[in-house]
Amino acid sequence: MKARGAAVMGALAATALGAAYLTWQRPKEAKTDNTVKVLEASKTSLAKIRYEDATRFTEVTRVVGDSEPVIWLKQGFLEGKAPVFDAGTPSADGGTVAAPLPPVATPTRELRANERGDKTWEKFTPFEAVRALGQLSDAKLKELSLDQSPKLLTLTVAGTDHRFRVSNPTAGFVGQYVLDEKTKEVYLLSSGALSEVEPSSTTLVDRRLHAFKQPDFDAFTVTLPDGQKKEFVQTDASIPQTAKVAPKASPDKPDEYTKNWHDKVWNRMIVTEVLGKGEQPAQGAPLVMAKVEYFSKGRPKGWIEIARVNQVATLMYARTENTAGWVALHTGVEEMILEAQKVVTGH
């Protein structure tokens, strides 16, 4: 009985120790009054969030202008880390056999953040953790993969950079650990706290062509490269099924062909790649084939330019008042260009 009792007590002790260890490691998933402040920052004092791994980086900034603040992303390869592709292979006669066109390394891009950008910015104002672990031994830092992790988080607040080394995901650990490189204090972040600013993440990239909705405009103009254009009005757009489009010159005569064409432009263009501010497609500068300008009560609301790369007619791009630059479009958009000519000219 004594041996059996000792075994039971030992099992209970082991269970208690395991529970205590898991409790120490497990982060709280939501902010509570028990969160720990890692770094004090406000929306205005926080100037930049930079997160880098061994290969790539992401920078997040907030630009305040005349309108609502805009969150911008800058993503790219660290210096010297961009992949280099083989340009060709030697031939039997000593020449070079041209390889198929290799993929091009994505350049550093400045991109507009989507509507989640503000929420991501707020996560760092202030920067909080779910637990403070204090200064840990070298052995413990190694156990938490904080001794040599290539991941670095830098928060620029009021002109001062604050650097944190970030742990690599490790089996058995929930959440991520960060080491304040100045104070040597270690903190446990909630699971997924940094996922949206990961260098490989695209969840914050704004893929919308427009930030406004279809009922927000009542007129639009379609213009062709040669300057020909035609004006239209839109009514009853609060319900898509009842929306009507008609020439401005005859607003009581709905134009079903133009309505169907515009429905494709508004609803069915799929963005396949978002290029950065000022970036041109690798195949060359796009040639604008049609432009649509939107108006609300006579005031400009937005616009879209639909273009193609002249050398390859099936490579279609667009840019709008909401995009940072050009965005690549799905195959099939080239048919909309032919239809745009009929919309404007009638043939």
Q: Do 177 and 59 share a structural domain?
A: yes
Q: Do 324 and 241 share a structural domain?
A: yes
pLDDT confidence of residue 26: 45
Render pLDDT for 115-171 as a digit per residue (tens, 0 to 9).
999 999 999 999 999 999 999 999 999 999 899 899 999 999 999 999 999 998 665
Lowest mean pLDDT among 5-9, 28-32, 194-198, 319-323: 28-32
Q: Do 180 and 49 share a structural domain?
A: yes
Domain count across the chain: 2
- Domain boundary (168, 197, 226) is at 197
Q: Do 153 and 114 share a structural domain?
A: yes
Q: Do 168 and 121 share a structural domain?
A: yes
Q: Do 338 and 245 share a structural domain?
A: yes
* Total-model pTM: 0.81
Q: Is residue 274 part of a domain?
A: yes
Q: Do 244 and 162 share a structural domain?
A: no
Q: Is residue 252 part of a domain?
A: yes
Q: Do 254 and 167 share a structural domain?
A: no
Lowest mean pLDDT among 47-56, 58-67, 170-179, 303-312: 170-179
Q: Do 74 and 41 share a structural domain?
A: yes
Q: Do 256 and 220 share a structural domain?
A: yes
Question: Looking at residues 195-221, what average pLDDT do you find?
Answer: 95
Q: Do 255 and 310 share a structural domain?
A: yes
Q: Residue 94 burial by CB count (10 A; 0-12/13-18/19+): exposed, middle or buried?
A: exposed
Q: Is residue 52 part of a domain?
A: yes
Q: Is residue 48 part of a domain?
A: yes
Alpha-carbon span 180 to 178, nearest angstrom:
6
Question: Looking at residues 6-16, what average pLDDT do you find?
Answer: 48
Q: Do 244 and 159 share a structural domain?
A: no
The parent domain of residue 132 ranges over 36-78+104-197
Question: How many angstroms from the chain centroid is the CA of residue 176?
Answer: 22
Q: Is residue 169 part of a domain?
A: yes
Longest dimension (CA), the chain: 100
- Here the tokens at position 48 are 């930049």
- Domain boundary (171, 197, 223) is at 197
CB-based contacts of 232: which residues, under 8 Å, 6+ apart? 219, 220, 221, 222, 245, 246, 247, 248, 255, 258, 262
- Domain boundary (137, 171, 197) is at 197
Q: Is residue 88 part of a domain?
A: no
Q: Is residue 237 part of a domain?
A: yes
Q: Is residue 205 part of a domain?
A: no
Alpha-carbon span 295 to 325, nearest angstrom:
21
